[in-house]
Amino acid sequence: MKFSFIIVYSNTKGMATFDTRSWPSRNYELEKKIIIQTNKLLTQIQSIPIEKEILLMDQSNDFVREGSMEDLQIIPTYQYYLENNLMDDFKIDLHIGDSYERNIFENTDQNQATAIAYNHGISLATGDYFVIQHNDTQYSFVEHDPSTLFYEFVDYLHENDLQYLTIDKKSIKNRDYPEWNDKIEYYADCYWFFCKSDFYTKHNIWIDWKRGDNNHLSTIFCLNNNLKFEHLPGYYENGKEEAIYWWKKLVKNKNELQTHIFKEKVFLYHYKGGTGLASLNLKGLNDVD
C-alpha cells in the first residue's frame, strides 16, 4: 500500500504578483521561514515508515531542499510555467471543468494557482491513497504511532464508507454556481485531505477554485450524490463556539497553532498561513510535538 503526499510550495513573489494591495513587494525574510517550515514538514513525512512518495509542487521553481530525501520529488508547476510563458509545455492528465488562463499571468490569482498545482500533483501521483496538504502543517506523533497512523486512516475510510477525511470546514463564501443547494453548510479545502487515489478521477471532479476557496467541489459532489465524508474535529474555519471549544481544549503551543484530532488524539497542527505561509512572520517557528 502506497501513500502519495501532495504539497504545494510558493514564495512571496507569487503573492506580490497576485495581490499587490496586501503584498506590494516580496518579503525575503518570510521566504526563509517558508523554506524552513516546508523542509521541516518534508523531513517529518520522509521519516514516516510507510511506502510513500512526496510530491512537492514548486510554484516558483526555487525550493531549496535540506538534506537527502529519497521519496521526495520536486516538481515545477503552474505558476512557474505561466510566469515563464511555458504554458504550451504544461500538461495535466486530469479533467478540470473550470477554465483557466493559459497565457495572461495577471488574470491568475493565488487561489487558482494553488488549486491547479494540486491538480498537477494528483495527475502525477502513483499512490493508492492521497494525502493532500498545505506546507503550514506539522504532524504530532506523541499520541499516534507514525508507523500505523496512515493505515488507521485507510481502515477508518473503509469501515465508515467514506469518500474522504479532512480537517477543514470552510464557511460559505460563494453561492453563485450551478451546484449550490441548501444542503451545503460548509466545505473541504486542501489544508489536510485524505482520499483514495481514484476519488477525483472516478467522480470526474477536480480541486476547484471558483466556489470560494480550494477543493469545495469534493464536498458539493458528495452531498449532491449522497456520498459520505467526514470533517475531523478540532479547530474549524467557521467554528466560532466550536472553534473556541477546541482551542481551549487542545491548543497548548504558545504559537496558538490550530489543533486537529483523530480518534480523540491530536495528530496535526496547523500554522494557518496558506501555501505562502503569510502569517509565519507573526507566529515564528517554535517546535511542536
- Higher confidence at residue 104 or residue 115? 115
Residue 141 has which C-alpha cell? 506523533
% of the chain surpassing 70 pLDDT: 83
Q: Euclidean distance between the first and final Cα of the chain, in Å? A: 27
The helix or strand, by DSSP H or E, that contains position 106, with its residue range, turns out to be none
Domains identified in the chain and CATH numbers: 3-283 (3.90.550.10)
- Residue 276's pLDDT is 47
Enumerate the β-bridge partners of residue 139.
268
Pairs from 72-81 (Cβ < 8 Å, separation ≥ 24): 72/42, 72/46, 75/120, 75/121, 75/124, 77/8, 77/116, 77/117, 77/120, 77/121, 78/113, 78/116, 78/117, 78/120, 79/10, 79/14, 79/108, 79/113, 79/117
pLDDT of residue 248 exceeding 80, the answer is no
Q: Is residue 7 classed as helix, strand or coil in its secondary structure?
A: strand
Q: Is residue 183 classed as helix, strand or coil in its secondary structure?
A: coil
pTM above 0.95, yes or no: no
**Alpha carbons 11 and 28: distance in angstroms, whole number:** 9
Question: Which of 212, 114, 226, 233 has the alpha carbon at shortest distance from 167?
Answer: 233
Q: What is the dihedral of CA 39, 106, 213, 267, to 10 degrees?
A: 0
pLDDT of residue 46 exceeding 90, the answer is yes
Q: Is residue 124 classed as helix, strand or coil in its secondary structure?
A: helix
- Higher confidence at residue 154 or residue 184? 154
DSSP state of 172: P
Half-sphere exposure of 202 toward its Cβ, with a 13 Å CA cutoff?
10
The C-alpha R_g of the chain, in whole angstroms, comes to 18
Q: Are 8 and 114 in contact (CB under 8 A)?
A: yes
Enumerate the β-bridge partners of residue 259.
269
Pairing state of beta strands 258-262 and 265-270? antiparallel
- Reported as a pLDDT band with limits 50, 70 and 90, residue 253 is very low
DSSP state of 263: T
Instruction: List for the chain the helix, strand, coil content (%; round to 5).
Output: 30, 20, 50
Q: Is residue 247 classed as helix, strand or coil in its secondary structure?
A: helix
Sign for the pseudo-dihedral over CA of 269, 137, 188, 72:
negative
pLDDT of residue 77 exceeding 90, the answer is yes
pLDDT of residue 254 exceeding 50, the answer is no
- Reported as a pLDDT band with limits 50, 70 and 90, residue 103 is low
- Higher confidence at residue 258 or residue 265? 265
DSSP state of 167: S
Given the C-alpha cell 483557466, which residue does it identify? Answer: 100
Residue 254 has which C-alpha cell? 504558545
Question: Which of 229, 95, 210 has the alpha carbon at shortest distance from 218?
Answer: 229
pLDDT tens track for 179-203: 887 888 889 999 999 999 999 999 9
Considering only 21-35, 93-107, 126-140, 234-248, which range has the smallest mean pLDDT?
234-248
Question: Which of 162, 189, 147, 159 has the alpha carbon at shortest distance from 52?
Answer: 147
Q: Looking at 104-148, list the stretches that DSSP marks H as alpha helix, in order from N- to C-terminal side.
A: 110-124
Q: Are 118 and 6 in contact (CB under 8 A)?
A: yes
